[in-house]
Amino acid sequence: MIVIGSDHGGFALKEEIKKYLQEKDAILVPQSYERYFGAQIVELLHRFRGSLLECNYEMDAGSFLYIQEKTRRIVEEKTL
């Protein structure tokens, strides 16, 4: 069971995060993730019953260009 507190504005997001976590066996998180996420997300991750897999991935310029192009195509498709 995962319990998360929120105000009225955060209720829908809170429910989405709870559902997401309950459906997973493992979650890939950045190395030293505690300094990147807010306190509520860190608390959720600490309560997660699956595995937290910390990774240290560095994106080179080629990878970044690929993601930019892919994102541009998706946006174009949605606006057509």
Which mean pLDDT values do the consecutive 10-residue runs of the chain (80 residues) have? 52 76 82 83 84 79 83 83
From the CB of residue 44, how many other CB atoms can be counted at a distance below 10 Å? 20
Question: How many domains does the chain fold into?
Answer: 1
Q: Is 64 part of a structural domain of the chain?
A: yes
Instruction: Collapse the DSSP code of 4 into the 3-class scheme (helix H, G, I; strand E, B; otherwise coil) and give the result.
Output: coil
Q: Is 3 part of a structural domain of the chain?
A: no
- CA–CA separation, 34 vs 43, rounded Å? 9
Question: 3-24 burial, b for 16+ CB within 10 Å, e for fewer?
Answer: ebeeeeeeeeebeebbeebeee
pLDDT at 21: 78
Range of the domain at 35: 8-79
Q: Is 45 part of a structural domain of the chain?
A: yes
Q: Is 55 part of a structural domain of the chain?
A: yes
pLDDT at 80: 66
CB 45 within 8 A of CB 29: yes
